Amino acid sequence: MISVSIVGGSGYGGGELLRLLIGHPEVEVKQVTSRSHLGEYVYQVHPNLRKRSQLKFSDPSTIEAVDVLFLALPHGAAQKKISEYAALGTMIVDLSADFRIKDTALYEKWYGAPHSAPEWLPKFVYGLPELHRAEMSGASYISGVGCNATAANLALLPLVQAGLIEQSAPTYIEIKVGSSESGAEGNSGSLHAERANVVRTFSAFGHRHTAEIIQEMGMTNASLTMTAVDLVRGALATVHATVKAGVTNKDLWKAYRAAANENPFVRLVKEQRGIYRVPEPKIVIGSNYADIGFELDESNGHVVSICAIDNLMKGASGTAVQCMNLMMGWDETLGLEFTGLHPI
Amino acid sequence: MSTVNCPECDAEITLEASTEVGEILVCPDCGVDLEVTSLNPAAVELAPMEQEDWGE
């Protein structure tokens, strides 16, 4: 049994992380911090945790040393205090964007300011196990992943790993996202009257998560288009790319089958029968699965690759727990066995 | 027992000894319906399946 704490536990990512860690068989949660909810029971903010935890939110200045410290702070906060956090956690998993991008110039381009602790960037492993599993074993520091980047990267994974597309060619990635991606703080656009029934393309290109696709997939000419839809949870990435000359449907089957076989949370969904023939976010809600699928127009080489995830799970907290499992040398599925719901 | 490859996804499919010509099999990987067209040598072809239509 190891000790863990969460710094910044009142947001949606922190709440989901706490839900997973409370149920994890090898973990004891010591502290969860929140300045804005100091002294409140965690279930008063995360009501699904009622009767599962009697923890109260702590002051961040009272955090004690633990085996694994999870940072679930707003972007930019962790990098300013990373040395202090490293003194408290033997291992750190940071869910924010602060340590995802290794190239300081790339970071500055997409995040609009220089990094506060560039010397720490090489110490962190990028937190997607499907890409960095081997490096995570024995690692001390792992970054978070962008939810949209994760949906896109896992849609691209079979195509890139098998070398089926030109990574420098223009690749268009349409992502539909639910409202929980914008966090628990709220703004005028998150009022129910404004957010309900939305199908709104809020970022045609230039989304920050593009940097993670460039870094992790070598997709130097990828463009991300973000559309908000009427979901609370869920992200669906639809990648449009062109396969290399001669690539066939069977080559794609082989590549996608391999990706699903090599990764316990990646499932190939390409059914010929029934209602659920393609990946859909609602089937993975609450689970750590990433469902992937594809269609190829062999007449012109246009491939459409799809990935559905729960943005708070595979896109954030579920993957963070998966990373902890790998750091500790445990089965990576430990505490993440929930299979989702149907119907939902 | 003989084996064939799925014409859709290339998965290897083992035909049971009791398989008959004309029988419809389901590919265990991609789920397409396959009609057994020959046993010696073993061969299968894609069988017609219902297409999905969510609004055209």
Q: Which domains does chain A have, with CATH numbers?
A: 2-124 (3.40.50.720), 147-309 (3.30.360.10)
| CA–CA dist A289, A308 (Å, integer) | 8
Residue A199 has pLDDT above 90, yes or no: yes
Q: Taking 90 as the threshold, does the pLDDT of residue A70 lie above it?
A: yes
Which of A250, A271, A273 lies closest to B10 in CB terms? A250
Q: What is the pLDDT along chain B (56 residues), one digit of tens a residue?
A: 799 999 999 999 999 999 999 999 999 989 999 999 999 999 999 998 877 777 65
Question: At A279, which amino acid appears?
Answer: P
The arithmetic mean of pLDDT across residues A199-224, rounded, is 95
Q: Is the dihedral of CA A184, A185, A187, A193 positive or negative?
A: positive
Contact A249 B8 (CB under 8 A): yes
Q: What is the 3-state secondary structure (H, E, C) of chain B?
A: CEEEECCCCCCEEEECCCCCCCCEEECCCCCCEEEEEEECCEEEEECCCCCCCCCC
Cβ–Cβ below 8 Å for A253 and B32: no
What pLDDT does A258 receive? 97
Residue ranges of domains in chain B, CATH in brackets = 2-46 (2.20.28.160)
Contact (CB<8Å) A272/B29: no
| C-alpha dist (Å) from residue A270 to A58, A140, A305, A327, B30 | 46, 38, 11, 33, 6
Query: Which of A207, A223, A213, A234 has the alpha carbon at shortest distance from A155?
Result: A213
- How many beta-carbon pairs below 8 A join chains A and B? 28
The answer to whether residues A304 and A173 touch, using CB atoms and an 8 Å cutoff, is: no
Chain A residue whose CA is closest to B26: A272
How does pLDDT run across A131-176, given as a tens digit for each residue?
A: 999 999 989 999 999 999 999 999 999 999 999 998 888 999 999 9
Q: Roughly how many angstroms between the first and final C-alpha of chain A, as a whole number?
A: 34
Residue A147 annotated as catalytic: yes
In sequence order, the 6+-apart residues with CB closer than 8 A to the CB of B24 are: B33, B34, B35, B36, B47
Instruction: Give the pLDDT of residue A188.
Output: 84
**pLDDT of A343 higher than 90:** yes
Query: What are the chain B neighbours of A257 within 8 Å (beta carbons)?
Result: 9, 11, 29
Residue B32 touches partner A, C-beta closer than 8 Å: yes
In the predicted model, is pLDDT for residue A264 greater than 70? yes
Confidence of residue A189 (pLDDT cuts 50, 70, 90): confident
Chain A residue at shortest CA distance from B53: A275
Mean pLDDT across chain A? 96
Residues 218-257 of A with CB under 8 A from B: 249-250, 253-254, 257
Taking only the tens place, the pLDDT of each residue in A4-43 is 999 999 999 999 999 999 999 999 999 999 999 999 999 9
Residues B29, A250: C-beta atoms closer than 8 Å? no
Amino acid at A106: L
The answer to whether the peptide bond before residue B41 is cis (omega within 30 degrees of 0) is yes
Chain A contact present for B53, CB below 8 A? no
Position A185 scores a pLDDT of 79
Q: What is the mean pLDDT of residues A200-228?
A: 95
Smallest Cα–Cα separation from A234: which of A275, A274, A291, A185? A291
Among residues A27, A29, A128, A147, which one is catalytic? A147
* Range list of β-strands (E), chain A: 2-7, 27-33, 57-58, 66-71, 89-94, 141-143, 171-177, 199-203, 222-229, 235-242, 266-268, 290-297, 302-309
Residues of B in contact with A261 (CB under 8 A): none
Closest chain B residue to A275 measured between Cα atoms? B52
Predicted pLDDT at A190: 84
- Check B32 against A277: CB less than 8 A apart: no
List C-alpha distances in Å: A6 to A10, A170, A335.
10, 40, 17
Min Cα separation B30/chain A (Å):
6
Structure ipTM: 0.81
Predicted confidence at residue B55, as pLDDT, reads: 65
A63 contacts A86 by C-beta, under 8 angstroms: no
pLDDT tier at A274, thresholds 50, 70, 90: confident
| Closest residue of chain A to B34, computed from CA coordinates | A272
| Rounded average pLDDT over A88-115 | 96
Query: According to the model, what pLDDT value does residue B56 have?
Result: 59
